[in-house]
Amino acid sequence: MKELICIVCPRGCILKVDAQKNVTGNLCSRGIDYAIQETTNPVRNLTTSIKVRNRPHTYVSVKTSAPVPKNKLLPMMEIINGLTVAAPTTIGQIVKANIMDLNINVIITKKID
């Protein structure tokens, strides 16, 4: 049996998931979905920053367009760490399309003039 703390809402229910994916401890139905997702295919949103080539000592924030499978986070960060962009940037600008063939884009979250 796996035990998790639900992060979907502020209640922080202590969830228990058995081998048959039966969930207990949830106070709402969203806890069930979270527990099953977290025990079968956990995903995370990835946010970081990359260098702006034509602006010394400047970085711009980026994020993934969709949650990333947890086991792909470190390999994806190795790729993102090698990315740079030139100013000006716009919010939503794609820096890397279809990263790791996951149908997920790396997008800019801050405008730099």
- For every residue of 6-36, DSSP letters joined together read --SSTT--EEEE-TT--EES-SSHHHHHHHH
- Separation of CA 13 from chain center: 22
At 100, the pLDDT band (50, 70, 90 cuts) reads very high
Q: What average pLDDT does range 6-26 have in this prediction? A: 96
Q: What's the pLDDT band for 29 if we cut at 50, 70, 90?
A: very high
Average pLDDT over residues 25-50: 96
Q: 35 and 19 in contact (C-beta within 8 Å)?
A: no
Percentage with pLDDT > 70 across the chain: 100
Average pLDDT, the chain: 97
Nearest to 62 by CA among 99, 7, 101, 34: 99
Task: Name the superfamily (CATH) of residues 44-108.
Answer: CPE0013-like (3.10.530.10)
Domain ranges of the chain: 2-40, 44-108
Give residue 19's pLDDT. 93
- The pLDDT, as a whole number, for residue 17 is 97
* Confidence at residue 40, expressed as pLDDT on a 0 to 100 scale: 95
DSSP-assigned states of every residue in 48-69: EEEEETTSTT-EEEEEESS-EE
For the entire predicted model, the pTM comes to: 0.86
- Tell me the torsion sign for CA atoms 31, 100, 104, 63: positive
* Length reported for the chain: 113
CA terminus-to-terminus distance, the chain = 52
What number is the average pLDDT over the span 43-68? Answer: 97
